Amino acid sequence: MAVTLRDIARKAGISTSTASRVLNGKTEKYRISQKTQILVQKAAQQLAYRPNQLARGLRLKKTHTIGLVLPDISNPFFAYVARIIQIHAFQAGYSLFVCNTDENQVTEIKQIELLLSYKLDGLIIMPVGVKYEHILRLVQEHLPFVLIDRSFDEIDANSVVVDNYSGAYKAVEHLIENGHHRIAIIQGLPDTYTNTARVKGYRDALSHYHIPVDPDLIVGNDFRQENGYIETKLLLKLETPPTALFTTSDLITLGALQAIYEEHINVPKDISLVAFDDVDFAPYLLAPLSAVQQPKELMGEIAVKLLINDMRSKGKFDKKRIVLEPKLMIRKSVLRVQASQPVAALSD
């Protein structure tokens, strides 16, 4: 059915090897005559030849394809990064295989397994959890890969992440500086790289300003919208509800907004809000949202660069761990509390 090199060879009256060499620009090395060259080119064009990448990959052990493993493509943050990665990969001559893990460790392992069996040249991974045996396997197999958004301090791998600790710290500090003491955090999936650092940033900011950490105000268990919704509902029902809320992902923020909206609560009058992940629509919300902005473009671009370096150098380069600084965008979702003078930080 499909047109093969054989068909071209037959049509041009030459052998498949010659056809292959012409089509791959190996004409000088193998001294192919002008005449044969145009003969082959014509035949290929007329038959609309399209090389079979399976056969090619099998023979060459190179597929010019990289895989992207991410937790949730419908999450705007991941989707955006995915697009950046796709663009840069494409520019570099690689196509991209995108896989969703649904924030599920088991699915992640399955998906990586799958990608491996397609013999991709490299992988960009946003790993789900706290386990990394399957990632270690990649190291053993010398498969180039880079971790993005989330990493593991324990393993020596290319990675590009944001300083989640610092971002969270800044966000909470901003709330404190505006006079807030009862600050709740809705965390994402516990034991993920990003979540751990964000929660730690939250705790440390409080501690630094000598505000006791109230365990009732640390809630939530995944990065999804439902989590934001439910936990906000519950927080608002507390006997003394928090005066400020720190949400740790864009979807959590969306869920929180939904709950706040339903309860007819006003931001920032009734509750102040700062989010991790600056979403496109943040400025246009009922209360334009103050948020920690991650350098998404940079992350994607660097990830591709690191991966390509790794693939080209066959692992000879040292692994690099890139940490990018997030930026707090201050808008109008934080109220300066009346008895305001900010709690002074004792000593430094």
The DSSP secondary structure of 248-282, one letter per residue, reads: -SHHHHHHHHHHHHHTT--TTTT-EEEEES--TTG
Asked if residue 133 binds its own copies (CB under 8 A), the reply is no
Residue 61 DSSP SS3: coil
317 binds, among DNA, its own copies, none (CB under 5 to 8 A by kind): none
Contact pick of 10, 41, 56, 295 for DNA (by CB under 7 A)? 56
Residue 47 CB, shortest distance to its own copies, in Å, is 13
141 binds, among its own copies, DNA, none (CB under 5 to 8 A by kind): its own copies
Nearer to its own copies, 205 or 291 (CB): 291
13 binds, among its own copies, DNA, none (CB under 5 to 8 A by kind): DNA
b/e per residue 270-291 (b: at least 16 CB within 10 A): ebbbbbbbbbeebeebebbbbb
Asked if residue 31 binds DNA (CB under 7 A), the reply is yes
x-or-dash string of contact with its own copies, 268-307, rule CB under 8 A: -----------xxx-xxxx---------------------
Asked if residue 30 binds its own copies (CB under 8 A), the reply is no
What residues does 346 pair with on adjacent strands?
A: none
Asked if residue 41 binds DNA (CB under 7 A), the reply is no
For the record, the structure tokens of 291 come out as 């948020």
Asked if residue 33 binds DNA (CB under 7 A), the reply is yes
Q: Are 251 and 274 in contact (CB under 8 A)?
A: no
- Strand-strand pairing, 145-148 and 122-125: parallel
Q: Which residue, 85, 202, 92, 204, is CA-closest to 149?
A: 85
105 binds, among its own copies, DNA, none (CB under 5 to 8 A by kind): none
Q: Give how far the C-alpha of residue 8 lies from the chain's centroid of Cα atoms, to the nearest Å.
A: 44
279 binds, among its own copies, DNA, none (CB under 5 to 8 A by kind): its own copies
Contact pick of 14, 130, 139, 234 for DNA (by CB under 7 A)? 14
Q: How far apart are CA 78 and CA 71, in angstroms?
A: 8
Contact pick of 42, 46, 58, 190 for DNA (by CB under 7 A)? 58
Asked if residue 240 binds its own copies (CB under 8 A), the reply is no
Name the one residue in this structure whose structure tokens are 């013999």. 119
Contact pick of 10, 11, 13, 218 for DNA (by CB under 7 A)? 13
30 binds, among DNA, its own copies, none (CB under 5 to 8 A by kind): DNA
- Find the length of the chain: 348
Q: Are 214 and 228 in contact (CB under 8 A)?
A: no
How many other CB atoms are there within 10 angstroms of residue 78's CB atom?
Answer: 22
Asked if residue 15 binds DNA (CB under 7 A), the reply is yes
Q: How far apart are CA 308 and CA 213, in angstroms?
A: 44
Phi-psi region of 37 (alpha: psi -120 to 50; beta: other; left: phi over 0): alpha
Q: Give how far the C-alpha of residue 41 lies from the chain's centroid of Cα atoms, to the nearest Å.
A: 42
Asked if residue 330 binds DNA (CB under 7 A), the reply is no
Asked if residue 73 binds its own copies (CB under 8 A), the reply is yes
Q: How far apart are CA 242 and CA 225, in angstroms?
A: 20
Give 120: exposed, middle or buried? Use CB within 10 Å, 0-12, 13-18, 19+.
buried
Judged by the rule CB under 8 A, the positions of this chain that interact with its own copies are 1-2, 50-55, 57-58, 63, 65, 72-74, 76, 79-80, 82-83, 86-87, 90, 95-100, 102, 111, 113-114, 116-119, 141-142, 225, 254, 257-258, 261, 279-281, 283-286
Judged by the rule CB under 7 A, the positions of this chain that interact with DNA are 2-6, 9, 13-18, 20-21, 23-24, 26, 30-33, 35-36, 49-52, 55-56, 58-61
